[in-house]
Amino acid sequence: MEQAKISSYQLFVLLLLFQLGSALLFPLGIDANQDAWLAILIATLGGFLIFFIYYGLFLIYPDVLPTTYVQDIIGKFFGRICSTLFMVYFTYFAARILRDFGEMLAVIGYPSTPLVINHLLLIFVVAYSVRKGIEVLARTGEILFVLIYLMALAGFSLIVFSSLIDLDRLKPFLEDGIWPVIKVALTQIIFFPFGELFVFSMIFPYIADRKKVKFASLFALGLSGVNLAISTAINISVLGAFEVKRSQFPLLGTIQSIEIADFLERLDIFFMLALIILGFFKLSMYFYAITIGMADIWNVKEPTKLVSPIGFVVLLFSIAIASNMEEHVEEGVKAISINLQLPFQIIIPLILLIIAFFKNRKK
């Protein structure tokens, strides 16, 4: 485990940037049609409940990484196997995130550039940052967090001044009742992005003031949920639910619609810059968790030695994961939520928490 400490505010920033990450890229919860924003808010509440599973484990084992306390909970042999499976799970999702943003670059800015080149450039920057450690990532997050919110406020103001928003596109409200909205929230959005916060159980031991972990995390989760709901509502009110559903990157379509006084338009570059920053932090947190996790499992004294081989594996996975963008998105939406995310994000951590509680109830 790296000898480093970050503040609760830095945890809040990293968690917020992580949650927004690739969630802003895709039409989140659009199976709920014009009520997608409500599905996101419902899923946010579910995200709070998932957080308390990880937080409960942290309270029992505040000084060690999950890869260590899993071995204490279920034994060294099975604990190592379980921890390694979680690292493989993190690697798979790191590859998916890399593919998300590689495809975005290919669509928006570099259509003639081979996809592997986009991925290589992204993974190089992330690998360099992970080598510098969690404190450097946290300080970088503090700086870029302000830039992201300034860009978001500017973008929202331009959309309003362009008179693009039509609130009638958000109607009818709950046309098919509340249950279809709840179904989307609990089968899709709760896993992506809220269930992904399990990565931060690898970061909690580095927090200097551990009494503020709960507040900082819940505040970041709540704020990210509200931000995603507002972004989705804006996309629907500008483009319409049908157009959002058929769009690869609906927020890009919204930004491209901005036109003020016949000269302020084509602001794609700001969309790409903001999303690359968010993608960098999301991928970095996964990459960092894999690095320190594998080092902890296999007793590697210098985790930085693992950065290059892990980067190569993530790069390889990102190319092999799907043959095209449509297949990649289809797998992410329908194939992995129940089959992969449910056991790794909820079922296994909950079982570990129950066992840990009974093993440590006297303590």
pLDDT at 53: 96
- DSSP code of residue 338: I
pLDDT confidence of residue 337: 66
pLDDT surpassing 90 at residue 174: no
On the question of pLDDT at 261 being above 60, the answer is no
pLDDT value, residue 1 = 58
Query: What is the per-residue pLDDT for 222?
Result: 96
Q: Which of 68, 255, 6 is nearest to 152 (CA)?
A: 255
Q: Which residues contact 343 (CB under 8 A, 6 or more apart)?
A: none
Give the single-character DSSP code of 26: S
pLDDT number for residue 42 = 96
Share of the chain above pLDDT 70, in %: 96
At residue 227, φ and ψ (nearest 5 deg) are -60, -45
Which of the four pLDDT bands, split at 50, 70 and 90, describes residue 113? Answer: confident
Q: Residue 260: phi, psi to the nearest 5?
A: -125, 125
| Structural tokens at position 151 | 């860009």
Question: Given this model, what pLDDT does residue 359 score?
Answer: 87
What pLDDT, in 10s, does the model give residues 50-93?
A: 999 999 999 999 989 999 999 999 999 999 999 999 999 999 99
Mean residue pLDDT across the chain: 89
Q: Which two tokens stand for residue 31?
A: 């199976």
Q: 253 pLDDT exceeds 90? A: no
Peptide bond into 193 cis (omega under 30): yes
Residue 321 has pLDDT above 90, yes or no: no
H or E element in which residue 152 lies:
helix 134-161
pLDDT at 207 exceeding the cut of 90 = yes
pLDDT in tens, 283-305: 999 999 999 999 999 988 888 89
Is the per-residue pLDDT at 330 higher than 60?
yes
